[in-house]
Amino acid sequence: MRAAIFEAPGEPFRVVDDLEVEAPGPGEVAVRVTHCGVCHSDLSLVDGAMPAMTPIVLGHEAAGVVEAVGLGVTRLAVGDHVVLTPCPPCGHCYWCLRGEFSICTNSLALATSTHPDGGTRLSRQGATVYRGLGVAAFAERVVTQEVGAVKIPDDVPLDVACVIGCAVQTGVGAVLHTADVQAGDTVLVLGLGGVGLSVVQGARLAAATTIIVSDPVAERREAAVALGATHSIDPTTENLLAQVQAITEVGVDVAFDAVGRSSLVVDALAATRSGGMTVMVGVPPITESLVIDSPTLFAFTEKKLVGCLLGGVNSLRDIPRLIDLWRSGHLDLEALITRRRPLDEINEAFEDLRASRGVRTVLTI
């Protein structure tokens, strides 16, 4: 099958036509991928900010059609339209039983680049190819656990639905699940890519009354306002903390770093009120450290700093809910997609991402 393979940091993707994929085993399905979004998490592996086993097929924000099912599969059938998810909940591990679905043992695939049994189902010329970020969707076909593909109605466009797989699950989930934003809360969003704009929409859905956004790209700030932000800040010309203080007087209830940068986490902590929460939605480079200058003050103010993986969602439950919100006009998926490219233009798509051109590029596989 055709696929885009990544082999080493600093090198471009290579689109090949001889990647081999195994048939689905028991409890697995094969999905013909039609579309996949280009996400900053993929870029972190490409640029070396996060380590990756290579050669590897990346791409984890995808949608497609079920082509084959393995023994014992009951949730899905050939022909079903599905959204793929990088952290499928098994439903029976320690974390799933406590309702912490996104950190299910299946989420280990994000680090191992394998299936739970240690295999990848992918090879090329006899050598193993790794399964990036739990999906490996920059390829014509994906083999995944049955719970890794969530059925959606056939009339939902797959090129639109694919962004639910990561950006929308993560951003909306960070608000509704991780932070549990309440009606009337004040919110700050740092970074307005696909995830950040989804955080904005989640805050609007939660009825936050003040939604402050910050991003150096004017077009992204404008998009955020169109999606529900009440105030926007240009961090290149305005003092973020002074502006937040002027708007809220005491700081925001919840701040979200949607970029993945330690300096922004520090800014977010400073911008939250006493007792407020900062949510690390983005993933900083593995070489970065986070330094809290005054841990005593941090303790005395009862501020909270929390991590966030895929928005704390249960994909089997929340993907259908997000589709319903889109259908009812309460969630705008199309606004996140600013460019579509064929798989052969994957390197140009990553250059767009590095340069912050547009929001989300969706590849047609």
Please indicate, yes or no, if residue 321 is contained in any of the structural domains: no
Q: Note the pLDDT of residue 92.
A: 95
Q: Note the pLDDT of residue 292.
A: 85
Q: Note the pLDDT of residue 51.
A: 87
Task: Dihedral sign for Cα 271, 277, 280, 284, please.
Answer: positive
Do 18 and 120 have their domain in common?
yes
Please indicate, yes or no, if residue 285 is contained in any of the structural domains: yes
pLDDT digits (tens, 9 = 90+) for 318-363: 999 999 999 999 999 999 999 999 999 999 999 999 999 999 999 9
Structural domain count, the chain = 2
Flag whether pLDDT at 283 surpasses 90: no
Q: Note the pLDDT of residue 237.
A: 97
Do 284 and 344 have their domain in common?
no
Q: Note the pLDDT of residue 101.
A: 96
Please indicate, yes or no, if residue 75 is contained in any of the structural domains: yes
Please indicate, yes or no, if residue 32 is contained in any of the structural domains: yes
Looking up residue 124, the CATH number of its domain turns out to be 3.90.180.10
Average confidence (pLDDT) over 239-262: 97
Structural domain of 130: 3-165+333-364
Do 247 and 283 have their domain in common?
yes
pLDDT digits (tens, 9 = 90+) for 160-205: 999 999 999 999 999 999 999 999 999 999 999 999 999 999 999 9
Do 181 and 155 have their domain in common?
no
8 A C-beta contact, residue 357 and residue 348:
no
Q: Identify residue 363 by its one-letter amino acid code.
A: L
Q: Note the pLDDT of residue 293.
A: 81
Looking up residue 175, the CATH number of its domain turns out to be 3.40.50.720
Please indicate, yes or no, if residue 324 is contained in any of the structural domains: no
Model confidence band, residue 284 (pLDDT cutoffs 50, 70, 90):
confident
Q: Note the pLDDT of residue 154.
A: 96
Do 212 and 109 have their domain in common?
no
- Name the phi and psi angles at 154, rounded to 5: -65, -20
Flag whether pLDDT at 245 surpasses 90: yes
Do 113 and 55 have their domain in common?
yes
Contacts 24+ apart (CB under 8 A), 243-247: 243/212, 244/188, 244/212, 244/271, 247/186, 247/210, 247/212
pLDDT digits (tens, 9 = 90+) for 36-82: 999 999 999 998 888 889 999 999 999 999 999 999 999 999 999 99
Where do the DSSP E strands lie in 48-132?
A: 56-57, 61-69, 81-84, 122-124, 127-128, 130-131
**Which of 267, 293, 309 lies at the terminal end of a domain, its last residue?**
309
Please indicate, yes or no, if residue 327 is contained in any of the structural domains: no
Do 57 and 153 have their domain in common?
yes
pLDDT digits (tens, 9 = 90+) for 77-124: 999 999 999 999 999 999 999 999 999 999 999 999 999 999 999 999
Q: Distance between CA atoms of 96 and 73, rounded to whole angstroms?
A: 20
pLDDT digits (tens, 9 = 90+) for 304-321: 999 999 999 999 999 999
Do 46 and 15 have their domain in common?
yes
Average confidence (pLDDT) over 259-267: 95
Do 104 and 185 have their domain in common?
no
Average confidence (pLDDT) over 138-150: 98
Model confidence band, residue 150 (pLDDT cutoffs 50, 70, 90):
very high
Do 229 and 272 have their domain in common?
yes
Residue among 58, 64, 40 at smallest CA distance from 365:
64
Choice among 3-7, 203-207, 287-291, 324-328 with the minimum mean pLDDT? 287-291
8 A C-beta contact, residue 265 and residue 285:
no
Please indicate, yes or no, if residue 325 is contained in any of the structural domains: no
Do 221 and 298 have their domain in common?
yes
Q: Note the pLDDT of residue 80.
A: 98
Q: Is 247 exposed, middle or buried (0-12, 13-18, 19+ CB in 10 A)?
A: middle
Q: How far is CA 45 from CA 41, 130, 133, 227, 286, in A?
A: 7, 13, 10, 30, 10
Residues 6+ apart with CB under 8 A from 162: 34, 35, 36, 37, 61, 62, 63, 83, 362
Q: Is 88 exposed, middle or buried (0-12, 13-18, 19+ CB in 10 A)?
A: buried
Do 172 and 130 have their domain in common?
no
Please indicate, yes or no, if residue 328 is contained in any of the structural domains: no
Flag whether pLDDT at 278 surpasses 90: yes
